Chains A and B, each alone.
Chain A
């Protein structure tokens, strides 16, 4: 066990995977000599050489396209898109190619590929450094979509993603890189030090894809969350006194529907929280699934608390961000019905 930030845990996962398997190669913008703008690949070039960890031209479509070719060759590329907001030029390569190789070629060619990208707001990043585009990827057959909320899961899920035989989109909530964040932006910043989930196991243990974690047990309402919103939900439960069960989905696709269903059938209420925009967001899918599996158990309409359907604003960040106040209001409202 070692105490780590999420950045250190992600770096450690790369290190473990690269040491174990020489087919693992790492590249992206600024990831080589410098070790990434968030430092998630620091020291890897020095340790594994320039042909296994290197800088790429600023061309996201090229980064993903080249990685697909490498995966088809037999390597296991783990690539970084500097911000999730920058992934759109690569969307064609991800959707039409990475996600489809196995199916369209009947496994003649496959694409074991991990595409990492920092996501989410809370850092005054404005509309081009704050987005949460996970629903654009959960909508695509052939992809897996993962979002850890802490250092321990970040390492275990990244190792699972690298071991996975199919392409995985790996979202890293950048506001959680250095500490848990419950949405109270005016309070002192917390670090992962002394946080139980900042304690990261040594070695190559994985956290399996498709398994949610219950972060807070409760009897009154189930909160479905992932990434930064896990801590916001925990804070909202604490502050409102509502006995909420907070589920950290961890994997959006495949989704641990069993854990979700079991919890909602137990509590009879459900609040869904995500930072991404609302319309056609992943919360809509969650709401449909909960409705399909738990309708006769529900005591109240399901509520979504999300980012607004606007571009992510700069100065109005905290009015956009679905913080503990809004989540708390939803918890109280769902209990009133």
Chain B
């Protein structure tokens, strides 16, 4: 061994801020709103490589919608978008509390990430299919899926459409373009590509959208999805929700040496775009662009939604143990609800009073749904699904061994 070689050491990346530190996002480069041009939907992925290192933003700090990505939504649609995000936030707050009260076993909220699923949903057409993770309930709320039904699922009561078999919030609704959520991470990403391939095989015009978190991009199924999407030019929009944290693990552990998650797409020749995930208008505009690209047969798009998980990972998580309590407030892309509210006020279509009134109406709606669901039952009270249900639906036709076991169990 030559003398100029020193012993090797392992590199374990660390976030910039841990409990007790002062949050510092000064290294986080944020382009000004409107800076990124909007390419045609049939653009060659190679021609937009820089979009994987920039961020598409529409709302500026004064709440104005600027640049080529602005102007896609009517005032009415913006009002509706704000209402969807308020509904989701209020729904989350009530269900989080219900979990604390012992009415269900588990809950996961969207706090700070409401724009991602609520705005994306608007870009999809009926018949399209999302393959969501556990933090995209906005896809359901924005499609008008009944909140009572969501609560029935969370409470595993007698009206739970999944008959108490599945963990709270792992909803399923084919009718609303919402694939049954898996508790395993990353598996649905490649499934979304398969669904899109099936659409192409069938000569259909429907598209799908896959969803994955920043942490789960490290899963092998992410690679599988990218290879298949690229090879077969699948009509799919592949979404990475980069909310900075995978439970206690900061995004740098999954990301490694590459600058951004979106840049992962370059090795596959997939159009790759980063978007301000806390900007309802930007998420919608990019989603619309990617969906049209897929539907017109120009191939897949990888979207990195840059956002921040302002709450805990789940009701089983205490983020103060691994990150600064002040980090959420220091997050430079702000809060999606506040930003859309500010925009609506800036264009003269909203006010603080109307916002308060909307919040009150939304709360009343959610509380009414909650009362209705709780009148049926919760995990610990009221009407529950039959124990017989666990034996049903394992197969279309119950095989003899399950019939024997059900009899043995006494159901």
A contacts, CB < 8 Å to B: 25, 51-52, 56-57, 59, 61-62, 65-70, 72-75, 89, 92-93, 96-97, 100-110, 141-142, 144, 165-166, 210, 253-255, 257
B100 cross-chain contacts in A, Cβ below 8 A: none
Contact B172 A52 (CB under 8 A): no
Stretch of B15-23, B194-202, B280-288 that contacts chain A: B194-202
Task: Give A255 to B401 CA distance when docked, in angstroms.
Answer: 8
B401 cross-chain contacts in A, Cβ below 8 A: 253-255, 257
Contact B396 A165 (CB under 8 A): yes
**Residue of B131, B172, B227 touching A69 (CB-CB under 8 A):** B131
Contact A103 B400 (CB under 8 A): no
Q: With A103-B165, A106-B393 known to touch, is A68 a contact of B191 (CB < 8 Å)?
A: yes
Q: With A92-B184, A97-B184, A108-B180 known to touch, is A69 a contact of B198 (CB < 8 Å)?
A: yes
A56 cross-chain contacts in B, Cβ below 8 A: 228
A73 cross-chain contacts in B, Cβ below 8 A: 129, 194-195, 198-199, 202
B224 to chain A, nearest CB (A): 3
Contact A61 B190 (CB under 8 A): yes
Contact B172 A109 (CB under 8 A): yes
Task: Give A117 to B201 CA distance when docked, in angstroms.
Answer: 24
Given contacts A62-B224, A109-B179, 19 further A-B contacts (CB under 8 A): A25-B198, A56-B228, A59-B224, A62-B227, A69-B131, A69-B194, A69-B208, A70-B195, A72-B129, A73-B198, A75-B202, A92-B221, A96-B183, A97-B182, A106-B161, A106-B162, A108-B173, A108-B180, A254-B401
Interface range on chain B (Cβ under 8 Å from partner): 35 or more
B195 cross-chain contacts in A, Cβ below 8 A: 69-70, 72-73
A165 cross-chain contacts in B, Cβ below 8 A: 395-396
The secondary-structure label for the interface of chain B is helix
Q: Is B386 an interface residue (CB 8 A)?
A: no
Contact A59 B182 (CB under 8 A): no
Q: Is B380 an interface residue (CB 8 A)?
A: no
Q: Is B117 an interface residue (CB 8 A)?
A: no
A47 to chain B, nearest CB (A): 16
Contact A109 B197 (CB under 8 A): no
Closest to B187 in A: A97
Closest to B162 in A: A106
A sample of 25 cross-chain residue pairs with beta-carbon separation below 8 angstroms, ordered by A number, consists of A51-B200, A57-B224, A59-B220, A59-B227, A62-B221, A65-B187, A66-B193, A66-B228, A69-B192, A70-B198, A70-B201, A89-B220, A92-B187, A97-B182, A97-B184, A97-B187, A97-B188, A103-B393, A104-B162, A104-B165, A105-B172, A106-B165, A107-B396, A109-B172, A165-B396
